[in-house]
Amino acid sequence: MRWTLIAIVLTGGISCASAAERVPFNAASAVRSAGSTDDRRRDPVPAFPRAESRPLTPEPPHPLQSRSWLVNSGACLEPLESVYGLSADWADLQRTLNLDHGALLILVTAPAFGRPHALSLRRRPTGDYVLRVTRAAPDEFSPQVREGVIDLLTARLLLKLWAAITSRVQMVESEAGTFDGKAYYFSAGRVTGYTANPRGGSILDRTIFALGWLAKLVEDPTREDPTDRRFIREELREAAARTAAREPCVRAVAE
């Protein structure tokens, strides 16, 4: 009986030792198991996958509001009075250039820095039309004068254009100022209009360009090209047509 108990005890010990050898102890696994158990106990809410990181789309910029203002379009002359008070200046120019009242039309150019000059159209008793260029001399007492006969077609275009331009003398509303440059006086009989630094390509700008071209031909006729008069007449016709169409005196310009 005693030997039977000893055999049972020995058999049980050998079985336990074999089981221990078959399942080795791993400390790291034990720590991870314990840790995961603790984490589940502290945070019972299941974890969600992280959202993808996407670049933020910038908001579109607010559109800038455009601003507009009124400017002189260069289609109309302005009166010498009452805002500008240029009647005295016009009288001084007439004396300086010795301009008489026999001219059918006059264009006086008065630079801010420089001597003024004038181009006038006259008619002789013979019926011929004459262009006269008058320039103020340095001594201011004896202006320099040159004259040249002009063809009938060009003279009539000038008279038609002058009648149209001087019929639209009015105050022009403008929010843009002008700086030192050139002032222009358009005179036809008792009507005189004024403009300064007209916009490029405008009616008054093209008219001044055509008359300046004519003045050069009067002062130096040897340099005249056969096509010069044709181009000058085209400029005068276009300016007269635009004036007859009553092109607006002001226009809105957007920033």
Give pLDDT, residue 174.
78
The answer to the question of residue 22 being in a domain is no
Q: Can you give the pTM of this predicted structure?
A: 0.72
Q: Is 63 a member of any domain?
A: no
* Residue stretches of the chain with pLDDT short of 50: 1-43, 45, 47-48
Give CA–CA dist 235/211, Å, rounded.
10
pLDDT at residue 55, rounded to an integer: 57
Say what the pLDDT of residue 136 is.
94
Which tokens in the block code for residue 210? 């055509």
Assess if residue 79 is contained within a domain: yes
**DSSP 3-state assignment of 55?**
coil
Give the model's pLDDT for residue 68: 77
Q: Is the peptide bond before 82 cis (omega within 30 degrees of 0)?
A: yes
- Rounded distance, CA 88 to CA 86, Å? 5
pLDDT, position 66: 65
Residue 4 covered by a domain: no
pLDDT score for 67: 72
Q: Which two tokens stand for residue 160?
A: 């038609």
The answer to whether residue 104 sits within a structural domain is: yes
Residue at 184 is within a domain: yes
Alpha-carbon distance values, 40 to 27, 35, 46, 156 (Å): 20, 9, 9, 107
Structure tokens given for 50? 């992280």
Q: Is position 62 within any domain? A: no
Q: Which domain holds residue 209?
A: 68-254
Q: How confident is the prediction for the chain on average, in pLDDT?
A: 80
Q: Quick check: is 96 in a domain?
A: yes
The answer for residues whose C-beta is within 8 angstroms of residue 141's C-beta and 6 or more apart is none
Q: How many domains does the chain have?
A: 1
Helices (H), 78-180: 87-97, 152-166
Q: Is the peptide bond before 73 cis (omega within 30 degrees of 0)?
A: no
- 3-class state of residue 179 by DSSP: coil
